[in-house]
């Protein structure tokens, strides 16, 4: 088994809308971590299937090569990876890292099925389980879905319109509207898959962080994570939101570029719209099992 100093891959496991883009950007400011946008590569057994089913994600591989200072276009990557299995593609990428560097892959879709996570095992990654309160995930998901359905000329009214929509969800006499309930079900599914998978992984190969802790008090959370990863905390990491970044909306948080600092209020934004009694018993039981702090807890 690889030691922490020899390990080359970090996988962030989370549900969508849980702060994985923020976590990627923070870690990407470390001089030893190469952190492109969502790679999606691990979802597929080989490079050919990856290119056929998620063509846009080639942008992340192109970005990887830009980050390591060895630019390559999609055609060059295609030529080099033709016929390769997914683990072989990762090993090929590791060859472009400098000694001591780590590749970070954060793709929430990896939590959709256990086969994807098991595919990563031969690479012996360090797994970071990022957990956010399900109502925080739901509130953020509903807001994003609403924005996707409206034209750009409504951007100036985004907050007022968002509030109106989420208020409607919150006032539903039957609990959560379908778009919110579907997101709750997916949160339960993804967290269960991650939990069951990580139960098979040695303790020294995994770490848990809570989104709420990260945004409220980032310094100790980032410090603990860096220690677990075997890298030093660097000052730029806690200033990560200061730089505007161009991101493909299909490969990360489409609103990340609008923020210039880590927002503590994001931890509790859901509270003005929802209460935990809207969640199913199954969701609340899982929250307790994985350490999500509940109201009154």
137-185 per-position pLDDT tens digit: 998 888 776 655 554 444 555 556 655 655 555 555 446 778 888 999 9
Whether 222 maps to a domain, the answer reads yes
Q: Of 202, 199, 181, which is closest to residue 138 (Cα–Cα)?
A: 181
Report d(CA 60, CA 248) in Å as an integer. Answer: 9
By the 10 Å C-beta count (0-12 exposed, 13-18 middle, 19+ buried), 259 is classed as: middle
pLDDT of residue 63: 96
Report d(CA 16, CA 280) in Å as an integer. Answer: 19
Report d(CA 166, CA 243) in Å as an integer. Answer: 30
What's this model's pTM, rounded to 2 decimal places? 0.87
Whether 3 maps to a domain, the answer reads no
CATH number at residue 240: 3.40.50.300
Tell me the chain's radius of gyration from C-alpha atoms. 19
Q: Residue 234: which domain range?
A: 9-290
Side by side, the strands of the sheet bearing 206-210 are 33-34, 102-106, 9-13, 126-131, 206-210
Q: Which residues, listed in sequence order, are joined to residue 129 by a DSSP beta bridge?
A: 13, 208
pLDDT of residue 90: 98
Listed in sequence order, the residues at least 6 apart from 215 whose beta carbon sits closer than 8 Å to its beta carbon are: 19, 22, 262, 263, 264, 266, 267
123-141 pLDDT tens trace? 999 999 999 999 999 988 8
Whether 246 maps to a domain, the answer reads yes
Q: Of 175, 174, 191, which is closest to residue 288 (Cα–Cα)?
A: 191
Q: Is 7 helix (H, G, I), strand (E, B) or coil?
A: coil
Whether 4 maps to a domain, the answer reads no
Q: How far is CA 134 from CA 18, 146, 268, in A?
A: 9, 18, 11
Instruction: Please state the domain count of the chain.
Output: 1
Q: Of 134, 141, 233, which is closest to residue 185 (Cα–Cα)?
A: 134
Q: Which tokens belong to 94?
A: 């590791």
pLDDT of residue 176: 72
41-68 pLDDT tens trace? 999 999 999 999 999 999 999 999 999 9
Total Cβ atoms within 10 A of residue 125: 26
Whether 297 maps to a domain, the answer reads no
Whether 15 maps to a domain, the answer reads yes
**H-helix or E-strand spanning residue 45:** none
Cβ distance 161 to 154 under 8 Å? Answer: yes
By the 10 Å C-beta count (0-12 exposed, 13-18 middle, 19+ buried), 113 is classed as: middle
Q: How far is CA 159 from CA 22, 108, 241, in A?
A: 21, 26, 21
92-110 pLDDT tens trace? 999 999 999 999 999 999 9
Q: Would the pLDDT of 5 be above 60?
A: no
Whether 1 maps to a domain, the answer reads no
Whether 295 maps to a domain, the answer reads no
């Amino acid at each position: 088994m690889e030691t922490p100093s020899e390990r080359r891959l970090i996988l962030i496991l989370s549900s969508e809308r849980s702060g994985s883009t923020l976590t990627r950007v923070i870690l990407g400011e470390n001089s030893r971590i190469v952190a492109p946008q969502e790679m999606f590569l691990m979802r597929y057994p080989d490079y050919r299937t990856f290119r056929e089913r998620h063509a846009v994600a080639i942008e992340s591989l192109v970005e990887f090569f830009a980050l390591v200072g060895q630019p390559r276009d999609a055609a060059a990557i295609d030529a080099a990876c033709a016929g390769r299995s997914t683990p072989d593609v990762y090993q090929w990428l590791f060859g472009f890292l400098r000694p001591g560097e780590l590749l970070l892959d954060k793709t929430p879709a990896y939590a959709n099925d256990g086969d994807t996570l098991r595919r990563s095992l031969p690479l012996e990654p360090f797994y970071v389980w990022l957990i956010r309160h399900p109502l925080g995930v739901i509130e953020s998901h509903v807001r994003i879905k609403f924005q996707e359905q409206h034209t750009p000329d409504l951007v100036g009214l985004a907050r007022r319109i968002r509030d109106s929509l989420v208020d409607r969800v919150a006032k539903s006499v039957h609990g959560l509207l379908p778009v919110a309930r579907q997101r709750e079900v997916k949160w339960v599914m993804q967290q269960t898959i991650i939990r069951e998978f990580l139960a098979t992984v040695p303790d020294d190969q995994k770490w848990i962080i809570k989104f709420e802790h990260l945004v409220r008090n980032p310094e100790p959370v980032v410090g603990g994570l860096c220690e677990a990863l075997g890298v030093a905390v660097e000052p730029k990491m806690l200033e990560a939101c200061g730089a505007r970044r161009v991101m493909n909306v299909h490969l990360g948080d489409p609103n990340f570029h609008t923020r210039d600092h880590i927002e503590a209020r994001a931890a509790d934004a859901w509270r003005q719209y929802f209460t935990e009694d809207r969640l199913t018993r199954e969701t609340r039981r899982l929250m307790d099992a994985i350490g999500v702090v509940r109201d009154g807890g």
